[in-house]
Copies of this chain bind each other. A is one copy, B any other.
Amino acid sequence: MKIALAQLNYTIADIQGNASKIIRAIHEAKEKDADLVVFSELAICGYPPDDLLDYPHFVDECLSALQNIAVETHNITAIVGCPSINVQTHGRNLRNSAFILTNGQIQKKINKTLLPTYDVFNEARYFEANSLFESITINGQNFAVTICEDLWFNNGDFKYAINPIEQINAPKNSWIINLSASPYYHGKYQKRLDVLQKVCQDSDMGLIYVNQVGAHTDLIFDGRSMVLSNKGEMLLELAAYSETLEIFDTEIKHNSTKIKTNENIASIYESLVFGVKDYFSKMGFKQAILGSSGGIDSAVVQALASAALGGENVKAILMPSDFSSEGSVLDAETLSKNLNNSYEIVPISEIFNSYEKSLEPMFKDLPFNTAEENIQARSRAVLLMAISNKFGHILLNTSNKSEMSVGYTTLYGDMCGSLSVIGDLYKTTVYELARFINKDKEIIPINIIDKAPSAELRPNQKDSDSLPEYYILDSILKLYIEERQSADEIIKSGYEEAVVKRVLRMVNNNEYKRFQAPPILKISSKAYGRGRIIPLVSKW
């Protein structure tokens, strides 16, 4: 039996566009003699559709598009992910379903059992869980059809009560089919493989696993659909970050291929470039703009954006103040030249002076402090947004996770932007990424990497004046944010008590800034944004 794995890039809520894409893939699968073609979870609307599911006409449109897709299923069966109505008299209104389409009709619907509701997942908000279990037969072959989390029994953040694969209890020699929408983070591929291989081994069944590919604002779906044997061997793997349809023939003996998880800095680079590229592509944007300070954060974002959009589509704005070192401007110019970016120099001194003059009656001779530092950062934001508004460039945010964590960043200043590119990378990872970008030649001037980090908002300022060294800061932050350890636990790992308490206090006190931050490309198991909801008014 020939099974096509259709790994496609859907646009959320572009129901007609997604349906056309699915129909084209059905025809391609037919041309390749496939008996069955499998699509990913909620393919028709893209994953995650969030509260659009609360609009009844949204779900109606999905179901009506499904009918149009069904019409195309002659001489082939298609399994398509689509939200559907819960017809029971109780429970949530919807189901997260896999529809079996064949002979031009909807033949069957199978509902998702395990509904992830943690981190970035909110499925219990919309869907009622499945409680009917059975395997299905297509062209004489048995399948256990499951949806994403259904295979993550006992592997997620908490323990589910039932294991769908055990409940389905499929006959020997069945294959598991899984329609997935599994977002990327660093380390996820290995985790995903471990989980899926164990499912195959425990159940003694092979697995057809179809993930979506594509970035949906903050969430990056890497694809990497695959076929595993009943021993967990890799029989077929689809490329990461690309739309592709491949055929797997269950009747042919396949050699297993060696699995290369390769989760290193290169894979972070790849995912971020893809995240930026797909954001622009789906929004119909072409050109990016960013503030280029001569520091490492903006340099890395500039390089990533150039890789994603082409150097000619990235515009750097250099906005020196009286506190900017001469080197910073020169380094930023060199960077733009290396990346083939256009750039403009717009000094902010006169703007800063006009604020000072306007505020003089109120500020009188009060000493220079955060107020004046922030005026500089915010003047730059006003300039960037003005240029963005005038020419239609999209502003990229350049904050990193370390400074976002401790609030070493100016709200409405350097926190502006449509998309935060490196907001889930600690500063130490930003350095690693800079060195990776320079691996073949010096794209980011080495001076930018070597000099001590500084916001350059007052004379001779250094980050280390008010923050611990980044290798210490980042380790503490990781234990607190990703590992959810308490201050006591972190101190027990060997960090200085005063430092730990100060860092955690800074993290907790700056929740209000992060609340108004742009969406952040997620590359860690716990990113700021939708996956981490913390009260603003609290004593924590």
Interface membership of A355, Cβ < 8 A: yes
Which stretch (A27-35, A192-200, A458-466, A527-535) binds chain B? Answer: A527-535
Q: Tell which of B52, B91, B372 touches A159, judged by Cβ atoms closer than 8 Å.
A: B91
Contact A17 B117 (CB under 8 A): no
Q: Tell which of B52, B90, B416, B538 touches A412, judged by Cβ atoms closer than 8 Å.
A: B416
Interface membership of A453, Cβ < 8 A: no
Q: Which 9 A-B pairs have the closest CB atoms?
A: A57-B486, A124-B124, A14-B539, A13-B540, A371-B389, A12-B538, A371-B390, A354-B354, A13-B538
Contact A539 B158 (CB under 8 A): no
Residue of B nearest to A92 (CB): B158
Q: How far is the CA of A481 from the CA of B351 in the complex (A)?
A: 41
Residue of B nearest to A125 (CB): B117
Residue of B nearest to A315 (CB): B362
Q: How far is the CA of A500 from the CA of B466 in the complex (A)?
A: 53
Contact A57 B488 (CB under 8 A): yes
Contact A412 B386 (CB under 8 A): no
- Chain B residues, Cβ within 8 Å of A385: 374, 378, 411-412
Contact B13 A539 (CB under 8 A): yes
Contact residues of A between 513 and 540, Cβ < 8 Å to B: 515-519, 530, 532-540
Contact residues of A between 291 and 312, Cβ < 8 Å to B: none
Interface membership of A264, Cβ < 8 A: no
Known: A12-B540, A52-B538, A346-B359. 9 other contacts (CB 8 A): A13-B535, A217-B536, A346-B361, A353-B354, A369-B389, A369-B390, A371-B386, A378-B381, A378-B385
Contact A389 B416 (CB under 8 A): no
Interface membership of A11, Cβ < 8 A: yes
Contact A355 B52 (CB under 8 A): no
Interface membership of A484, Cβ < 8 A: yes
Interface membership of A166, Cβ < 8 A: no
Q: Give per-residue flags for A402-433: 1 if the beta carbon is below 8 A from chain B beta carbons, else 0.
A: 00000000011000101000000000000000
Q: Give per-residue flags for A202-230: 1 if the beta carbon is below 8 A from chain B beta carbons, else 0.
A: 00000000000001110000000000000
Contact B530 A530 (CB under 8 A): no
Q: How far is the CA of A518 from the CA of B411 in the complex (A)?
A: 11
Please give the distance in Å from A519's CB to the nearest CB on chain B: 6
Q: How far is the CA of A55 from the CA of B482 in the complex (A)?
A: 11
Tell me the A residues contacting B by CB distance below 8 Å: 11-14, 17, 46, 48-52, 54-58, 89-93, 117-118, 122, 124-125, 158-161, 215-217, 279, 282-283, 344, 346-348, 350-351, 353-355, 357-359, 361-363, 366, 369-372, 374-375, 378-379, 381-383, 385-387, 389-390, 411-412, 416, 418, 484, 486, 488-489, 512, 515-519, 530, 532-540
Given A54-B484, A359-B346, A385-B378: A537 and B90 interface contact (C-beta under 8 Å): no
Q: How far is the CA of A309 from the CA of B517 in the complex (A)?
A: 28
Q: Tell which of B48, B122, B535, B539 touches A217, judged by Cβ atoms closer than 8 Å.
A: B535
- Chain B residues, Cβ within 8 Å of A279: 537
Contact B486 A90 (CB under 8 A): no
Contact A382 B375 (CB under 8 A): yes
Contact B516 A518 (CB under 8 A): yes
Please give the distance in Å from A395's CB to the nearest CB on chain B: 10
- Chain B residues, Cβ within 8 Å of A58: 540
Residue of B nearest to A375 (CB): B386
Q: Tell which of B91, B92, B216 touches A537, judged by Cβ atoms closer than 8 Å.
A: B216
Given A158-B92, A366-B390: A537 and B217 interface contact (C-beta under 8 Å): yes
Q: How far is the CA of A130 from the CA of B180 in the complex (A)?
A: 30
Contact A90 B540 (CB under 8 A): no
- Chain B residues, Cβ within 8 Å of A354: 350-351, 353-354
> 9 A-B pairs, CB-CB below 8 angstroms?
A52-B534, A56-B486, A90-B161, A91-B159, A117-B117, A122-B122, A215-B537, A366-B390, A371-B387
Given A355-B386, A390-B369, A540-B12: A159 and B89 interface contact (C-beta under 8 Å): yes
Contact B418 A512 (CB under 8 A): yes
Please give the distance in Å from A440's CB to the nearest CB on chain B: 32
Residue of B nearest to A361 (CB): B344
Q: How far is the CA of A538 from the CA of B350 in the complex (A)?
A: 40
Residue of B nearest to A531 (CB): B51
Given A359-B346, A370-B389, A539-B11: A519 and B515 interface contact (C-beta under 8 Å): yes
Q: How far is the CA of A125 from the CA of B156 in the complex (A)?
A: 13
Given A91-B161, A535-B50: A374 and B386 interface contact (C-beta under 8 Å): yes
Residue of B nearest to A91 (CB): B161
Please give the distance in Å from A234's CB to the nearest CB on chain B: 31
Contact A350 B358 (CB under 8 A): yes
- Chain B residues, Cβ within 8 Å of A124: 117, 124-125
- Chain B residues, Cβ within 8 Å of A418: 512
Contact A357 B363 (CB under 8 A): no
Residue of B nearest to A18 (CB): B539
Residue of B nearest to A374 (CB): B389
Given A217-B537, A279-B537: A344 and B362 interface contact (C-beta under 8 Å): yes
- Chain B residues, Cβ within 8 Å of A412: 381-382, 385, 412, 416
